[in-house]
């Protein structure tokens, strides 16, 4: 996790948290392994939002979810987090 906003609530009372995530991994591409890095805007709702509200920038985790446009106006994708796995004892946050 790079940075995160404060826990907020939808009008119906559901917790939401917006955060940025830095991804690092190694992937195969045309038969060759390579290193991959990127940054991604993420959002988590409900129980996941509470989980993330307790974490801090620098914490490592493995997340997955689905992509959706930020809004009608801005079509760049935001990762909506559906599963979170905290990577303990791995302070660099490297995923293997």
Partner 1 sequence: MTIVRVALDIPLSRCFDYLAPEASATDVGRLVRVPFGRGEKTGVIVAVPGHSEQSPDKLKPVVAIERTLPALPPDWLALGEFCARYYQHPLGAVLNFALPPLLRRGRLPRQKKEKPRSGTPPAVRPALLAEQQAAVDAISGATGFMPFLLHGVTGSGKTEVYLHAIEAALARGRQALMLVPEIALTPQLEGRVAGRFPGTRIVAAHSGVADAARARGFLDALEGCADIVLGTRLSIFVPLPRLGLIVVDEEHDASFKQQDGLRYSARDVAVFRAKQHDIPVVLGSATPSLESYCHARNGRYTLLSLTRRAVAEAMPAVRCIDTRREKLQDGMSAALLAALELRLQRGEQSLVFLNRRGYAPVLACSACGWISNCRRCTAHRVVHLADRRMRCHHCGDEAAIPRACPDCGNQDIHPFGRGTQRIEAALQDRFPAARVLRIDRDSASSPRKWQALLEQIHAGDADILVGTQMLAKGHDFPRLTLVGAVGADAALFAADFRAPERLFAQLMQVGGRSGRAELPGEVLIQTEHPGHPLYAALAGHDYHHFAIAQLAEREQAGFPPYAFQALLRAEAREVAWSLEFLSAARALAQPLAGEEVMLYDPVPMRMVRLMSLERAQLLVESRSRPALQTFLAAWCNALATLKASRRLRWHLDVDPLEL
Residues of the shown chain interacting with partner 1 in the complex, contacts defined by CB under 8 A: 10-14, 16, 43, 45-46, 68-72
Comparison of 43 and 63: residue with beta carbon closer to partner 1: 43
3-state secondary structure of 61: strand
Q: Smallest distance from the beta carbon of 44 to partner 1, in angstroms?
A: 10
What letter does residue 84 receive in the DSSP assignment? E
Residue ranges of the alpha helices (H) in the chain? 47-53
Contact 23, 39 (CB under 8 A): yes
Comparison of 64 and 74: residue with beta carbon closer to partner 1: 74
Q: Smallest distance from the beta carbon of 81 to partner 1, in angstroms?
A: 12
Comparison of 15 and 93: residue with beta carbon closer to partner 1: 15
Q: Smallest distance from the beta carbon of 57 to partner 1, in angstroms?
A: 22
What letter does residue 59 receive in the DSSP assignment? -
Compute the distance between CA of residue 5 and CA of residue 77 in angstroms, rounded to an integer.
18
């Amino acid at each position: 996790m790079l940075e995160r906003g404060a826990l907020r609530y939808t009008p119906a009372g559901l917790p939401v948290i917006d955060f940025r995530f830095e991804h690092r991994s190694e992937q195969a591409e045309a038969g060759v392994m390579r290193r991959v890095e990127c940054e991604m805007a993420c959002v988590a709702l409900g129980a996941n939002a509470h989980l993330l509200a307790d974490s801090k920038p620098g914490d490592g985790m493995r997340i997955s979810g689905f992509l959706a446009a930020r809004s009608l106006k801005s079509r760049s994708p935001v990762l909506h987090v559906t599963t979170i796995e905290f990577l303990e004892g791995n302070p660099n946050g490297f995923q293997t």
